[in-house]
Amino acid sequence: MSDSYLSFVNSSWGRRLAQTIGLPQPLPLQRHRSGQQGLANPVIIAGAGRLADEVRRIFKATDTVPAQAATLKAPSTVKVQGAVFDASAVVDLKQLDELYEFFHANARRLGQHARVVVLGTAPEHCQDLPQAIAQRALEGLVRSLAKELRRAITVQLIYVAPGAEQDLESSLRFFLSRRSAYVSGQVVRLEKSVDGAPSIDWGKPFSGRRALVTGASRGIGLAIAQVLARDGAQVVCVDVPQALSSLEQAASSVGGHAWALDITAADAVQQLQAYVAEHGAFDVVVHNAGITRDKTIAKMTEAAWRSVLAVNLQAPLQLSDALLQGQGLNAGGRIVCVSSISGIAGNLGQSNYATSKAGVIGLVQGLAPVAAARQVTVNAVAPGFIETQMTAKIPLMIREAGRRMNSLSQGGQPIDVAETIAWLAHPASGGVNGQVVRVCGQSLLGA
């Protein structure tokens, strides 16, 4: 789970050696710590669409200093920690020049670890074809900038639907903070919130909320439980009965409850309903439990095929269905699933896993409108290469390739996935629904 190359190239002689012979030089990512100032600071605000006012209001609310927008052709030499470009008013190709001018002038002003967010209007919400094309073109710009800015800088595109301007804050806070350190090159669509505008304690957003996390005894699941608990949630940690002792340890470490449940058991749904009847409904459910049984299709046993689909896809479907049909999720509830880059791109030797994780995308997209009617959202993260006990078992050279094949030239940590899930599960993220967000440092791999 340690990336010795990353430490090496950031030691003083390692850095010199790497520079001399031209090795990649990833920066260690800066991650969020409790008590830190939340947002990148200072930040340049540019562009003049329907979102610029709301962006300024958010900065004011967070005491973040907006840097003066640079005169476009004469960049200031003062470094900034972030940039927000409101491109929502771009209506044709000609106006895309404004983004060129801005990034051309300001790319070098962005400090290490800077956060860049472009705001737009999704093509499906545009008035006419030239606007839809210009807005769709932003994807190519954002993904290219995410690949070329380097120095641990991240770049995202958020399409904000008309009418969803007031639902931007949780997403902007996430993407402009260190919480999103391993998320880059992503395109997210925001719609009007499914559940109105709750009043938020930004320091402890999950205060008074109950969360269920499956596969919580270790690795990414444990990190999810920790982050939700850190941010105020009461967490119910679920894992299989065989993992009971590490599960109890995990639950106790986050001040939560341990619940030994095999989510693939024939009576898992009934057990969940009974649990809810006894302890009350949940606000957040994270379907994190997942298994791999890798083999090429010709060598794969039927058991390997079925068990992977049962744990990774059938169980999240059945449990989500039961929670939504019954009274298992409060209004304002959040379901977060875990897909995978393999589910997006397919993977050699993982036809079972990729099938299950592609199905998770289908689950999220199909369930989102149904859930919205109950004031619940359903989203997924799709992790790339994350440093866990699972990836530590990958042979060295393949592991090295997996680690470096992304714009940040390193693997992510479980906490990167957990922070992204906490954003999707956030009480103020009711405008984020049906989305699949990669946590992969903008892995080269895709479809």
Site residues (CB under 8 A) for its own copies, limited to 309-348: 309, 313-314, 317, 321, 342-348
- Residue closer to its own copies by CB (options 207, 301) is 301
Closer residue to its own copies in complex, CB, 101/201: 101
CA dist 391 and 387 (Å) reads: 6
Q: Of 272-280, 284-292, 353-361, 388-396, which segment contacts its own copies by CB under 8 A?
A: 353-361
Q: Please report how close the Cβ of residue 16 comes to its own copies at its closest, in angstroms.
A: 24
Work out how close the CB of 342 gets to its own copies at its nearest, in angstroms, rounded to a whole number: 7
Q: Which of 367, 415, 421, 436 binds its own copies (CB under 8 A)?
A: 367
Q: How far is the CB of 356 from its own copies (least distance, A)?
A: 7
> Cα(337)–Cα(381) distance, rounded to whole angstroms?
7
If one asks whether residue 296 binds its own copies (CB under 8 A), the answer comes out as yes
Site string for its own copies, 75-104 (x = CB under 8 A): ------------------x--xx--xx-xx
Alpha helix (H) ranges present in 373-436?
A: 389-392, 396-404, 414-424
Question: And the tokens for 109?
Answer: 């002003």
Near its own copies by CB under 8 A: residue from 268, 281, 291, 444: 444
Q: What phi and psi, each to the nearest 5 degrees, are found at residue 176?
A: -100, 5
* DSSP secondary structure string for all residues of 100-113: HHHHHHHGGGEEEE
CA distance 271 to 276: 9
Residue 355 touching its own copies (CB under 8 A): yes
Selected binder of its own copies within 42, 47, 82, 185 (CB under 8 A):
185
H-state helical runs in 165-208? 169-175
Minimum CB separation of residue 140 from its own copies in Å reads 3
C-alpha–C-alpha distance, residues 426 and 110, integer Å: 28
Q: Quote the CA–CA distance of 240 and 426 in Å, as a whole number.
A: 27
User: How is residue 434 written in tokens?
Assistant: 């049906």
- State the nearest-atom distance from the C-beta of 346 to its own copies, in Å: 3
Phi, psi for 51 (deg, rounded to 5): -105, -15
Q: In what order do the strands lie in the sheet with 43-46?
A: 66-67, 43-46, 80-86, 110-120, 154-160, 187-190
E strand map for 47-166? 66-67, 80-86, 110-120, 154-160
Residue 139 or 400: the one with the smaller Cβ distance to its own copies is 139
Other beta carbons within 10 Å of 43: 22
Q: Which amino acid, residue 28?
A: P
For residues 12-71, which are near its own copies according to CB under 8 A? none
Burial 342-377 (b: 16+ CB within 10 A, else e): bbbebbebbbbbbbbbbbbbebbeebbeebbebbbb
Q: How far is the CB of 386 from its own copies (least distance, A)?
A: 19
Residues 114-173 that bind its own copies (CB under 8 A): 123, 126, 129-130, 132-148
Residues in contact with its own copies, counted by CB under 8 A, come to a total of 73
Question: In angstroms, rounded to a whole number, what is the distance separating the alpha carbons of residues 3 and 47?
Answer: 39
Question: Any catalytic annotation for residue 182?
Answer: no
If binding is defined by CB under 8 A, does position 230 make contact with its own copies? no
Nearer to its own copies, 98 or 262 (CB): 98
Closer of 145 and 276 to its own copies (Cβ): 145
- Cα gap 41→168, rounded to integer Å: 18
Q: Please tell me which residue in 5, 159, 182, 353 is annotated as part of the active site.
A: 353
Does residue 273 touch its own copies according to CB under 8 A? no
Q: Does 388 bind its own copies (CB under 8 A)?
A: no
Pick the closer one to its own copies by CB: 115 or 209: 115
- Which residue lies nearer to its own copies by CB, 99 or 422? 99
Q: Which residues are catalytic?
A: 353
